Amino acid sequence: MSRDQNYENFEVRGEVPQARFGHTITLVSKTKAILFGGATGDTGKYSITGDTYSLDLLSKTFTKIEATGTSPTPRAAHASSAVDSLQMVIYGGATGGGSLASDDLFLLDIRNGERSATWMIVPVVGITPGRRYGHTLAFSKPNLIIFAGNTGSETINDVWTLNVERSPFAWSKVEVTTSPPARVYHSSALCSTGSASGMMVTFGGRAIDQSALNDSWGLRKHRDGRWDWVKAPYKASITPTHRYQHTTLFIDSLMVVVGGRTNTVGESVPLEVYDTESSEWFRFSSVLRFRHTCIALDSTLFVHGGFEHETPNVPTGKMLKIETSRLFKENTILAPKGKSSPKPEPRPLPPAPEEKKSTISVVSNTPDRGNPLQNIFINHLLRPTEWNTPANARFGFRREHIFALTEECENILKSQPMVLRLRAPIKIFGDIHGQYADLMRFFDLYGSPSEEKKAGGDLEGFDYLFLGDFVDRGSHSLETICLLMALKCKYPDHIHLIRGNHEDKWINNAFGLSDECQVRLGEDPNDPKSVFARINRMFEYLPLAAVIEDKVICLHGGIGSSLETVNQIDALPRPLEVIHEVSNDLQQLVVDILWSDPTDSDMEIGIQPNVIRDPNGTGNIVKFGPDRVKDFLARNGLSLIIRAHECVMDGFERFAGGDLITVFSATDYCGRHKNAGAVLFFKKNLEIKPKLIYPVDNPYGSNWIETEESLKKRPPTPPRWRNTDNRKKSYE
């Protein structure tokens, strides 16, 4: 290490990280930085870490962060960048043993303090830059930019960008006519002053032939959307040292290159400065570090970790402080420039819901509450007038994103009772069965669960209740359940989901969801770590009923032969697996709630066999008459039952003299019934108004269950009008 008086040790305290190399330190606010990852140990016995620390530059204090959420795997030689105040992203890296980290983009959010820090995978649709290490990641608002690196098999020179203000997120490969040579272990930094303002400037690195480089290139975006590279000119007086595994930072219009190593072992590598205005290089005393990291506070540089040339196999934990104003003091050209202009603080993401100010979001360019994961699902899926995804198309979200969303939804369900107590006004939806286009039509025509009034949102005026059977039969179960989970997570007290008979692994393994996960996610549904399995575990925590205004009970199927009081439902345990081969009263109660139907008419009383649903005559699935309905309502002080479960011609149908209403929201069920779909508007005065949609040609694909053979194995939910001869004749 140089003993130059301009370089001094920066003594830190607190939870000081182990000595390491290949890590990153990222400045996320004026005085706070985040350290992540790297490798610790010495002389070949290195361990890759996933540690996260914050560093307060004013108090010189490190704090270890124990973040919640989906954390990145341990890695080194990755890249990081701040995207907004107190937020940063990381990408790529090596995990040891020749393996590379995933191609996920991870976001760390510490806006609520280190103790409430959260990691998440940023949901990205489409292709990615792929796995790599030794690359760079920069943020030129609104674009994240990845450049070059090594894929594990080759050194590359590609450029990828991601616009953080455009939802859904998608990586885009930049096509240019001229590119820098391929490289790894180079550096990139954003210039924000002078003629190179807005450019990502890349310097040095190691070429395909393992030689060190000393060229500089600037990447810029033109107003017409084109990107291009410009090679930086050098005046002949001084040429920079060829190097790699170094760092660069900008102070004003000056690019400062710190440390690194050359192709000559142990060679002293000077600190060098490139003036982007004059194209001149300047040379100063060496900082003998490589595989280190560096940040800048105004005109002061802080160097952390890496290897010192004197001990190239043992990383250091020391921090150096470099006062560039002192370093440049005797240089008449650099001295006036080496004073960093205060950078404007990045605009932060939306605060927690209780805060009032509105700010820009890395996942949404509109003020919004909720966390980024919820918002990206909602922004991508809640598009009543724009949605048009064909059947069998690859689902736009990764498995990791769905896992995280499902876990969050499950945690909310666990905190809520088995019988929800709700207030009017509220909209009540019946079976959707993966017919996502119908759901979007309802939202388009009759209002959507959004706070955006100009876009048809009516969440301030209505809660939403969905009576189960979100999945199966239709071709877009993934869109349906993911949107409903995201809405539940964002508005847990306004979006309500109860369980249907298809929210059951034994049913949806055969009738749609399993096939859809296999085709659209490319997974094995039988794998216990599959999305299919994870969603079904969440289903076991869904409530089985809701009571509105202490007057109306809502459930999926019915009251069957065993349900006598609401308290019986409240007492059911969770997680709750549906047992179809009933052997006790509790199992029968669950089957009654999820599977039973009213009798075919008000004239048929008592408990009747349900021949279509129970062809083997086990007696587990039954029909209940109007007398059972009236007895149940009287015993519980209720006035109405609202249920789903059966396809009805007009989308809704009354039974038991109006004491029970069936609502069904999927039109032209299974592509063969031509039925309407309905949603019930339950008003504050307890008035109920049905709103209907009618079958249209389905441009989004067919159902998962569509062949005659598969329909024989389990027919669709029987339409109620087919249960009476008169209705059947008039329909046909």
- d(C-alpha 546, C-alpha 568), whole Å: 13
Computed on alpha carbons and rounded to an integer, the radius of gyration of the chain in Å comes to: 31
Residue with tokens 């009251």: 559
- Torsions phi, psi of 576, nearest 5? -120, 110
Beta bridge partners of 293: 304
Handedness of CA 30, 31, 34, 40 (dihedral sign): positive
The residues, any chain, with a CB within 8 Å of residue 731's CB and separated by 6 or more, are 649, 721, 722
Contact 411, 158 (CB under 8 A): no
At 679, phi and psi to the nearest 5?
-130, 140
Longest Cα–Cα distance of the chain, Å, equals 103
- DSSP labels for 634-662? HHHT--EEEE--S--TTSEEEEGGGTEEE
Q: Does residue 430 contact residue 678 with C-beta atoms inside 8 Å? A: yes
* Cα separation values, 354 from 351, 368, 370, 389, Å: 8, 12, 11, 36
Q: What is the rounded distance in angstroms from the CA atom of residue 254 to the CA atom of residue 537? A: 56
Which strands sit side by side in the sheet containing 660-663, from one edge to the other?
419-422, 545-548, 552-555, 640-643, 660-663, 652-655
**Packed helices 399-414 and 531-539: angle between N→C axes, nearest 10 degrees:** 10
Residue 139, both tokens: 């943020």
∠ CA 129-135-140, nearest 5°, is: 75
Give the type of residue at 342: P
**Do the beta carbons of residue 393 and residue 702 sit within 8 Å?**
no
The residue whose two tokens read 């508007």 is: 681
Q: Which residues are catalytic?
A: 502
CB atoms within 10 A of CB 353: 10
Helix (H, G, I), strand (E, B) or coil at 116: helix
**How do strand 124-125 and strand 118-121 relate by DSSP bridges?**
unpaired
- Calpha distance 547→559 (Å, rounded): 14
Q: Alpha-carbon distance 582 to 594, whole Å?
A: 13
